[in-house]
Amino acid sequence: MTTIAMRDQQLLDTAIVSSWSKIAPYWPLQNLIAVNPLAGFEHLPFEQALQQAHGYFQQRDLAAEMQTVNRHSIKWLQAFFDQGQAAISMPYRERGLLASLRLMITLDASLHRHDAEKLQWLGALSEHADEVIAEALEFLAIPVTEHGQFLTLMLTTLPGWASYVRYRTHWADSHDSGHPHQVNAAEYLAFRLILTCLVWPQAKQLLATHEQAVSSAELPSAYTTMLAREQAYRVALLTQLKGAGSAHQHAPQHSRYAAQLVFCIDVRSEPLRRAIEQQGNYQTFGFAGFFGLPVAIENAVTGASHASCPVLLKPNHKVVESPVGSLQNCRKAHQRGQTLKKLYQSLKYNFTTPFVLADAMGVGHGVWMGLRSLVPATAGALTTRVQSALGQHQQLHPNSAVIALPQRINYAASALRMMGLTEQFAPWVVLCGHGSTTTNNIHATALDCGACGGRHGAPNARILAAILNDGEVRAGLAAEGIEIPSDTTFVAAEHNTTTDQVELFSSPANSQQQAQLAVIKRDLRKASEQNSDWRAAQLGLTARGAEAHRATALRAQHWAEVRPEWGLARNAAFIVGPRAWTQDIDLDGRAFLHSYEWQSDGDGSALTTILTAPMVVGQWINAHYLFATLDNVAFGGGSKVTANITGKIGVMQGNGSDLMHGLPLQSVYASDQQSYHEPMRLLVVVRAPQARLNAIIAQQPILQKLFGNGWITMVCCDPQLQQYFTLQRDLTWCATD
């Protein structure tokens, strides 16, 4: 290669990278992860990011020719990325996106209309994506200085699909479902460019239109409303914290707690924690719901596996969960179910046979439709029974021994230290993950545990409980100064956020333990009923008491339910500190709570982890809800009422549209007109010395970016100075009254 060619190549590579940097990833329906749709603009001050976003994503109109390009893109992308909807899928997908689609495009007369010139141009294109991009940019006469910008527009004019590709190229995990059909960042751009060249040779105009759009973009009026709302919330919360903090500072616990319960930092844990604390002598903690374990989980029965840790981490271990009963029986039951499903699918996805299927299955489908609509609770109970017969709902236990002993000790120690539970262990320590149960819900996984990669949290809880109950691990912990009394047992549990139930996974050894556990279970039941009451009100129901419990449980089973639960809507704050500090405050289910004891974290390493991992995830969630509420079309999924699942990976609206990434309307709006979520940026309150925070921020560029550009408001409650400080955008502190 000549130097000039090399320089051009470098310039082009830079342009490709910079264009993709504007695009946030979009996870598929199997594990919807909350992300900031404007993650690519976090290097800008929040207000500027809003303006840029308006220019890129919120334009009312798009050139008609570019819409044609989009229609063809949508057609081919659906066909290429389909994960099992079509029975006859697009040929040659295993050759990768560009190779296969280029072949399809040359056969697609609706694109080239048999125009000899266009066909010749197509035939002459280079093989490599980079070269195709260069050739196409030249064909469209895009000036070199505008390459990056034009490529960006190729992505942002069909943002949903670009986000999905971004997920595939940068985030998709090998532990999640396999992706046999390869795509890379340059290939996708090349594909979009080829279509553009064929349909709209004058596409250069996009640049001018965009420039105009950006220059005329103003801050949305919602921004002013948001500022006022943030201010009011901040003042109210800090007032509450100041009042509560002084009361609790010198009230150490003398008697031993009956149980300590560790919940996920998720905002849905907070009202349940408050409820269980009121039932008796219980202490609760907040910790990331994956319990610090970077693992992938494999189900021994189904063979399915998934990464069960935050997407920022890669799993280091693969833990297999097997049923407590006979594995072979469960496998058989599972096989039976699979054969029946195969039978049904084989009839449905062939020629001729569906005509008989409809007649033979009509009565069954009719009866089932009637049951599910008219007596949904009965239908739900029946479903559970069938699932149990097919070997689901079996209690599982993990083979945590695949993790080497020193590693297990290490995970156990750092988890306990980070949650601030290193002494005064209760006889029972419940590690409670969470997950949701919904029926016929496209966006079901958006309600599951984000810290577990958009999955249920029980497996991680079971693994950590097994590790902490292990004698060798306890000996190792003792050597590190963490003495766990021999009568302390760790129990895994899962909080069902849709029904409020908490299920304990345990088999107590003796009758005394049984009696103790029965009390804990009873109190958890009371707490969950109390929580149902509160949630029923949030859902706009008038039912209270047992009726509220039934009403929320029904939402989990009803196949027409579009708002089974509110998920993390109305999230507003992220509080890092001891529970004693916040225990007497009703935080209204709006706060992520991370336990932290500054005295036991001398070097600040635990706080560094909290701020750079769970807090960042909290900010993703916060921005995910914020933007889906501000503009549910550009940054959300639109109404569930007209949603159409494509390729089993995402949704479109109706006949065909961009991939609608983001939360659907019903997740953040109580009605078409009335939002439920209150869009506001995350308020982080940390109880730690200001100097320690300064040291951490100075070392962490990501924190400087988020705090300095106003994506997060940081407040420090300095326990030594006994004063509150707010971090300003220049990263200096300002005392708060």
Partner 1 sequence: MMGIEQLFHHDVLSSVMMVLIGFVALCIAVFAWRYLAGDRGKGAFYGYLLIVVVCLFVLVMADHMAVLLGAIAGANFGLVRLLGHNRQWPAAQQSARLAWRNFTLGWLLLCAALLILYGASGESSIQAMLDSDIASGSLWLSSSLIVLAAMTQSALWPFHKWLSNSLNAPTPVSAIMHAGLVNGGGFLLARFAPLLSEQPLLLTAIFVIGIVSAILATLWKLIQSNIKQMLAYSTMGQMGFMIAQCGLGLLPAAIAHIFWHGLFKAYLFLSSGSAAKEPRLSLHYPPSALQFLLALTAGVSAAVIFAATTHKSVFAGDTTLFLLVITVIAGTQVALPLMQANKRLTKPLAFTLTASLAFVYGLSVSFIEHTLAPLAMSHPQPLNIIHISALVVMTTTWMWIIFAHKSAPEQVPKWQLKAYVALLNSSQPQASTMTAHRNHYQV
Establish if 638 lies at the interface with partner 1 (CB under 8 A).
Answer: yes
Establish if 208 lies at the interface with partner 1 (CB under 8 A).
Answer: no
Closest separation between CB of residue 140 and partner 1, Å?
A: 20
Establish if 341 lies at the interface with partner 1 (CB under 8 A).
Answer: yes
- Inter-residue contact 51 to 217 (CB < 8 Å): yes
Site residues for partner 1, 392-411, by CB under 8 A, read: none
Among 369, 401, 546, 698, binds partner 1 (CB under 8 A): 369
Site residues for partner 1, 39-78, by CB under 8 A, read: 58-62, 66-68, 70-71, 74-75, 78
734 φ, ψ (degrees, to nearest 5): -130, 125
Establish if 485 lies at the interface with partner 1 (CB under 8 A).
Answer: no
Cβ count near 291 (within 10 Å): 31
DSSP-derived 3-state class of residue 670: coil
Closest separation between CB of residue 365 and partner 1, Å?
A: 4
Cβ contacts of 79 within 8 Å, gap of 6 or more: 86, 89, 90, 104
Site string for partner 1, 649-688 (x = CB under 8 A): x--xxxxxxx-x----xx--xxxxxx--------------
Burial class (CB in 10 A: 0-12, 13-18, 19+), 574: buried
Binding window for partner 1 (CB under 8 A); candidates: 381-389, 435-443, 497-505, 714-722: 435-443
Cβ contacts of 456 within 8 Å, gap of 6 or more: 433, 434, 435, 448, 449, 494
Closest separation between CB of residue 378 and partner 1, Å?
A: 14
Establish if 218 lies at the interface with partner 1 (CB under 8 A).
Answer: no
Establish if 647 lies at the interface with partner 1 (CB under 8 A).
Answer: yes
Q: Which of 70, 220, 167 is nearest to 652 (CA)?
A: 70
d(CA 523, CA 530): 10
Site residues for partner 1, 271-300, by CB under 8 A, read: none
668 φ, ψ (degrees, to nearest 5): -125, -10
Among 363, 486, 542, 730, binds partner 1 (CB under 8 A): 363
Residue with the two structure tokens 């195969």: 342
Instruction: Fill in the DSSP letter of residue 633.
Output: T
# of chain residues touching partner 1 (CB under 8 A): 113
- Closer by beta carbon to partner 1, 355 or else 691: 355
Establish if 442 lies at the interface with partner 1 (CB under 8 A).
Answer: yes
Site residues for partner 1, 86-115, by CB under 8 A, read: 86-94, 103-104, 107-110
Establish if 377 lies at the interface with partner 1 (CB under 8 A).
Answer: no
Closest separation between CB of residue 322 and partner 1, Å?
A: 22
Establish if 385 lies at the interface with partner 1 (CB under 8 A).
Answer: no
- Closer by beta carbon to partner 1, 363 or else 509: 363
Binding window for partner 1 (CB under 8 A); candidates: 84-92, 129-137, 528-536, 565-573: 84-92
- Inter-residue contact 686 to 716 (CB < 8 Å): yes
**How far, CA to CA in Å, does 241 sit from each of 98, 237, 285, 576?**
56, 6, 17, 12
Cβ count near 726 (within 10 Å): 17
Closest separation between CB of residue 56 and partner 1, Å?
A: 11
The tokens describing 734, both together, are: 């300002």
**Which stretches within 200-307 are classed as H helix?**
205-216, 221-248, 269-277
Site residues for partner 1, 13-32, by CB under 8 A, read: 28-30
Establish if 735 lies at the interface with partner 1 (CB under 8 A).
Answer: no
Site residues for partner 1, 137-176, by CB under 8 A, read: 157-160
Catalogue the long-range contacts made by 732-735 (C-beta closer than 8 Å, 24 or more residues apart): 733/690
Establish if 640 lies at the interface with partner 1 (CB under 8 A).
Answer: yes
- Closer by beta carbon to partner 1, 68 or else 422: 68
Closest separation between CB of residue 363 and partner 1, Å?
A: 6
- Identify each DSSP E strand in 462-590 by its residue range: 489-496, 502-505, 573-576
Closest separation between CB of residue 58 and partner 1, Å?
A: 7
Cβ count near 321 (within 10 Å): 21
d(CA 191, CA 197): 10
Among 169, 299, 557, 632, binds partner 1 (CB under 8 A): 632
Closest separation between CB of residue 350 and partner 1, Å?
A: 5
How far apart, in Å, do the first and last CA atoms of the chain sit? 65
- Closer by beta carbon to partner 1, 205 or else 373: 373
Closest separation between CB of residue 66 and partner 1, Å?
A: 8
Establish if 212 lies at the interface with partner 1 (CB under 8 A).
Answer: no
- Closer by beta carbon to partner 1, 575 or else 643: 643
Establish if 343 lies at the interface with partner 1 (CB under 8 A).
Answer: yes
Give the β-pairing of 282-287 and 259-264. parallel
Site residues for partner 1, 602-631, by CB under 8 A, read: none
d(CA 726, CA 728): 6
